[in-house]
Amino acid sequence: MNADLEKIDHAALRTNQTFIIGLSVAAFILNLPWLAAAVALIMALGTFRGVPGFGFIYRRVFKPRQWVKPDVLPDNPEPHRFAQGFGAAVLATGATALFAGAALPGWGLVWLVIFLAALNLFGGFCAGCAVYYWLNRLQVPGFVKRPPGGASPGRPPK
Amino acid sequence: MLAEFVSRGLLTLAICAAGLSIYWLINRLILDRAGRQRRGLENLHPGIPAILYFTTPNCAPCRTRQRPALQELQARLGNEGLQVIEVDAAAQPALADYWGVLSVPTTFIIDTFGRPRRVNHGVQGTLALLKQIQEVELNRTLIFSELNEDI
């Protein structure tokens, strides 16, 4: 196992994914491009602060009331941050397209983020993390972390 | 306005249905693949349904929710009614990969012939697992009764 692993609460990551999916679906059904833009903004802010964008709801509401139990695993935070940042960029591009009147590519990008977040939430596969580890394998500068021992790229540590 | 929301809601439902179908298909493929060699089931007692339970020492929901649910089920059905095979996915990553385990806890329902019949990604409660075992065993009984009628 890598010595520089940090303790990551995967319950906070799952809460984040749940809110990204729920609010993005609501944005689509209610035809609210600003909601998709707001979700992208919260994700981007979370990425810059190094935390899950909607993690504050987990920390302030779910965790104190024990509605969601912590699931702390030794893991690399960088791939999750990269995945969230990538999702924010895609969602922001989608929202921009929607504001520009390009509904089909705009909502298509929103649904892409929904699909990838759902894949992570229900399937346990983080596509953004997998991309991060592939870039590490290709020795791209800045992508310095390797998957935790025994874990495949994109899958949670076992 | 309302018609637009309804049509968008229906489209969302259709997309979700397509996603669930893909999820179901992937689970079927995992079960079919795992059923070919049945690795990890070497110590299975024939004639007793089983649950193959993938966990890790670090998995909090496994410790707090999944294991108690399995213990309750085991207590209800007894040793002659159910066998639980626990696998540490961290200690046996090759076996976990073979069974297509993406996250823990993952549970597989194994019928009395040792065939994997259901897969659950994430925590499953006692009643949900019991229902799955009953469904699997009911299907088996129906197949046998149909065979007997044919004979």
Residues 127-156 of A with CB under 8 A from B: 150, 152, 155-156
Closest CB from A31, A72, A155 relative to B102: A155
**Between B61 and A33, whose confidence is greater?**
A33
Strand-pair partners of B52: B85, B108
Report ipTM for this prediction: 0.73
- In the prediction, which pLDDT does B130 show? 94
Average predicted confidence (pLDDT) for chain B: 86
Nearest to B74 by CA among B121, B35, B107: B107
Where is A57: in which H helix or E strand?
helix A55-57
DSSP B48: S
Count of positions (residues) in chain A: 158
Output the pLDDT for position A148.
73
B130 min Cα distance to partner chain A (Å)? 22
CB contact under 8 A, A69 and B97: no
Contacting B residues, span 26-85, partner chain A, CB-CB under 8 Å: 56, 58-61, 64-65
Pairing mode of beta strands B50-55, B83-88: parallel
Round the average pLDDT of chain A to a whole number and report it. 90
pLDDT score for B104: 84
| pLDDT at residue number A1 | 47
Over residues A65-91, the mean pLDDT reads 91
* B116-121 vs A6-9, strand pairing mode: unpaired
CB of A111 less than 8 A from some CB of B: yes
Residue B147: per-residue pLDDT: 55
For the stretch B100-131, pLDDT in tens is 887 888 999 999 988 999 999 888 889 999 99
Alpha carbon dihedral A47, A51, A53, A55, in 10-degree steps, equals 170
- Reported as a single tens digit per residue, the pLDDT across B73-101 is 999 999 889 999 999 998 998 899 888 88
Q: Any CB–CB contact under 8 A between A25 and chain B?
A: yes
Over range B36-50, report the average pLDDT. Answer: 86
Give the pair of three-digit tokens for residue A6: 């940090």
> How much of chain A, in percent, has pLDDT values that exceed 70?
92
CA B62 to chain CA centroid, nearest Å: 15
pLDDT tens, position by position, A110-151: 999 999 999 888 877 889 998 998 898 888 999 988 877 655
Q: Which residues of A touch B65 (CB under 8 A)?
A: 69
**What's the rounded mean pLDDT across residues A70-74?**
82
CA torsion, ordered A132, A115, B90, B119, to nearest 10 deg: -160
